[in-house]
Amino acid sequence: MTTPYVLILGSQGRAAKIANELTANGLDELVRIVSEPTVQEALAADHSPVALVILDCRDAPLDEVIAPLREDPRYENARILSMVGNDGVVGAETSLDRGWVAAFIGLPMTHGLLARHCRDQLTRWMARHGPDADDPELRPRVHPESDLLRDFESSEATRIHELMTVIERALGPRPRLRLPAGVRLTRQDVPIDGVYIVLEGEVALTRQLGEETMLFHQDTTGRVVGLLALSTGARSRFNSTTTTPAVVVHLSTYQLDLALQLEPQVSAILASSAITQLSTRLARSEHLHTERRFLVRRLEQERAELTTALEQLREARLELITQARFATLGELSAGIAHELNNPVAALVRSSEHLLEDVADLLVTNPKGELIANTIDHSARRGATSTRDERAARRELSKVIKDDDLARRLTAAGVRNPAIAKAATQSKDLANTIELSAKLGTSLRAINLASAQITRLVSSLRSYARPDETVDGVSVNTSLEDTIHLVSHRLRGVELVRHYGELPDIRARSAQLGQVWTNILVNAADALNGSGTIELRTRRVGREVVVTITDDGPGIPEDVLERVFEPRFTTKHGQVRFGLGMGLGIAARFVHDHGGTIGIESEPGRTCVKVRLPVVGPPDALPTDAEEAS
């Protein structure tokens, strides 16, 4: 091992004085003492290893002197003593932060003190970096001379042994109490009149919190039980109980006081014991604090995960509800369509048969031709407005001067004044015309109603298989079907259709129907009974684009941002499904189809635009096998 260096950094005059002092105290036998005027020169010189640097550069900021030294591996472990004059220390922030300076030494100093400082620092350096640093037996030790610091360094067992020695020196032999496990030494919240010195065995400190007994200390109890309570107003904070067979010595407060007076060493030992005990408890508390932070963080994380899970569950539930509704709707639709088809067919056929049979009957009737013509005329004529009918009635009334008959004849579709005049002559003729017309009107009503039912049934069919993806779906037809099914919501709304030529697409037609339903019902609600909805379809590349525009009051900006959220609805502030539900479900179905949906709104114009890929939903693209079949 090469002899380590002590480097004195500073002006030559003072450096020489410092070197002299060190030499005079025999340090030159341990180390090589060198001095350099500047850091640069020190670094240029060939000193290694350096155990100690004594800085006497009192004008320069400390950090600027030390930083370059620390960057050099030869100075990495060197301990640094900083001589401080009347001006104090300047520019030492980094040095303090990194712990570079081992000690600050005030000037002027007592003769010989610097050498003692150096010896102490050198010992510490040797303990860590000297040739025997790795050997716990040979490693040099620093021996404090004060009682307190010396007691800190000794083990708890040694300390207690020493304590007993000095106490018994003062008080005479103390009786040993031999206790089994489970003996309570102090009670929580009860005043304390003495301490127990635990020579053997273990003591646990607990607190009673309601029903629960909480363990606070076991390994961290310390050997002098009750000492800390004495310092804090003499009430025990804990129940202390032996947990193993134990040997203890009891000292009353009086006996303790006496021992402290007679043997000053007792106080040093008790102080070091108390401080050690406190610091182990503090360490434990700090550890618990860290652990609590960690637990809180983990709790927060778990709570966030739970929230997410809950959110996902809610969404899944909504999805299930929607699916269940669709399944139900599908089954119902199929059932209703099937059940309605038969009666409707019977209705249509019967009405035709009725007409034929009546015609046959009339062949032999003298007024047969009139009756047949009137029935036929009434059955075919379109609906007239009540306004027009009243005008026609007034005309007839002028001619025949009979309001009541005029009303009956107009209702029967008579517009010809000549026939009306004839009817005034014959009550029988009037009755015949009226009855025949009513017959015709009823037939027309039956035909119209059955046609309407037939149309509804065929519209319902598209809802029959909600999850099935099929080819050949016509978006225009799908829109028309929906318009039929929600026509009751579209009363008073003018529909303007601009349907383009579209390719058939691959889609789930029931979901498509739901998309249009939701958009249309939303628009109709906004219009509140009067306004225009414009439907426009066109093909753009490989997509079909549908825009549905209404001229309603528009959607407020803050609401607009949220209309596609899964559970958003402005109606009564609650979630509703089925007809009248929000655009969220529409958006989900469009996305499931691999399409996009967007909305723009301003007062007087709200436009929803849906783009659907012609190839259909990405998850339901036809497989090769399907195509082959």
Partner 1 sequence: MKLAIIVLEDEPPVRDAIARDLQEFSGEVRVEPAEDVPDARELIDEILADGDVVALLLADHRLPGETGVDFLVSTMDDDRMASARRVLITGQADHADTIRAINVGGLDHYIAKPWDPGELHDVVREQLTNYVLDQGINPLPYLPNLEMDRAITAMRGFSLTD
Instruction: Enumerate binding residues for partner 1 (CB under 8 A).
Output: 383, 385-387, 389-390, 404, 407, 411, 438, 441-442, 444-445, 448-449, 488, 491-492, 529-530
Backbone angles phi and psi of 15, in degrees to 5: -60, -40
Q: Distances from the Cα of 210 to the Cαs of 176, 189, 191, 207, 213, in angstroms?
A: 35, 14, 20, 9, 8
Nearer of residues 220 and 442 to partner 1, judged by Cβ? 442
Q: Which two tokens stand for residue 75?
A: 């100075």
Q: Minimum CB separation from partner 1 for residue 498, in Å?
A: 23
**For the stretch 591-603, what's the b/e string if a residue is b when 16 or more beta carbons lie within 10 angstroms of its beta carbon?**
eebbbebebebee
Nearer of residues 127 and 446 to partner 1, judged by Cβ? 446
Name which of 348, 367, 369, 479 is nearest 428 in CA terms: 367
Q: Which two tokens stand for residue 196?
A: 């127990």
Could you tell me whether strands 194-200 and 184-186 are parallel, antiparallel, or unpaired per DSSP bridges?
unpaired
Q: Which two tokens stand for residue 195?
A: 């301490």
CA 372/CA 358 separation, integer angstroms? 8
Q: Minimum CB separation from partner 1 for residue 346, in Å?
A: 19
Backbone angles phi and psi of 188, in degrees to 5: -55, 135
Q: Minimum CB separation from partner 1 for residue 527, in Å?
A: 11
CA 267/CA 6 separation, integer angstroms? 39
Nearer of residues 111 and 488 to partner 1, judged by Cβ? 488
Nearer of residues 407 and 484 to partner 1, judged by Cβ? 407
Q: Minimum CB separation from partner 1 for residue 510, in Å?
A: 25
Q: Minimum CB separation from partner 1 for residue 580, in Å?
A: 11
**For the stretch 541-565, what's the b/e string if a residue is b when 16 or more beta carbons lie within 10 angstroms of its beta carbon?**
eebbbbbbbbbbebbeeeeeeebbe
Nearer of residues 194 and 531 to partner 1, judged by Cβ? 531
Q: Minimum CB separation from partner 1 for residue 387, in Å?
A: 6
Q: Minimum CB separation from partner 1 for residue 441, in Å?
A: 6
Q: Distances from the Cα of 262 to the Cαs of 124, 228, 254, 288, 577, in angstroms?
A: 36, 22, 12, 40, 90
Q: Are 503 and 540 contacting, i.e. CB atoms less than 8 angstroms apart?
A: no
Q: Minimum CB separation from partner 1 for residue 328, in Å?
A: 22
Nearer of residues 264 and 492 to partner 1, judged by Cβ? 492
User: Which residues touch 341 (CB under 8 Å, ≥6 apart)?
Assistant: 457
Helix/strand number for the chain, H first, E second: 20, 20
Number of neighbours of residue 272 by Cβ within 10 angstroms: 21
Nearer of residues 304 and 451 to partner 1, judged by Cβ? 451
Name which of 482, 462, 471 is nearest 329 in CA terms: 462
Could you tell me whether strands 177-179 and 224-225 are parallel, antiparallel, or unpaired per DSSP bridges?
unpaired
User: Which residues touch 493 (CB under 8 Å, ≥6 apart)?
Assistant: 523, 524, 527, 529, 530, 531, 532, 533
Q: Minimum CB separation from partner 1 for residue 491, in Å?
A: 5
Q: Minimum CB separation from partner 1 for residue 584, in Å?
A: 24
Q: Minimum CB separation from partner 1 for residue 450, in Å?
A: 11
Nearer of residues 209 and 383 to partner 1, judged by Cβ? 383
DSSP string, 430-456: HHHHHHHHHHHHHHHHHHHHHHHHHHH
For the four alpha carbons of 586, 588, 590 and 592, in that order, the dihedral sign comes to negative
Nearer of residues 364 and 385 to partner 1, judged by Cβ? 385
- How many CA atoms within 13 Å lie on the side-chain side of 127? 12
CA 36/CA 38 separation, integer angstroms? 6
Nearer of residues 223 and 408 to partner 1, judged by Cβ? 408
Nearer of residues 389 and 504 to partner 1, judged by Cβ? 389
Nearer of residues 494 and 565 to partner 1, judged by Cβ? 494
- How many CA atoms within 13 Å lie on the side-chain side of 168? 12
Nearer of residues 246 and 443 to partner 1, judged by Cβ? 443
Q: Are 79 and 50 contacting, i.e. CB atoms less than 8 angstroms apart?
A: no
Q: Minimum CB separation from partner 1 for residue 362, in Å?
A: 22
Q: Minimum CB separation from partner 1 for residue 525, in Å?
A: 13
Nearer of residues 377 and 407 to partner 1, judged by Cβ? 407
CA 502/CA 443 separation, integer angstroms? 38
CA 53/CA 122 separation, integer angstroms? 10
Q: Minimum CB separation from partner 1 for residue 445, in Å?
A: 4
Q: Minimum CB separation from partner 1 for residue 307, in Å?
A: 37
Nearer of residues 73 and 382 to partner 1, judged by Cβ? 382
Q: Are 368 and 436 contacting, i.e. CB atoms less than 8 angstroms apart?
A: no
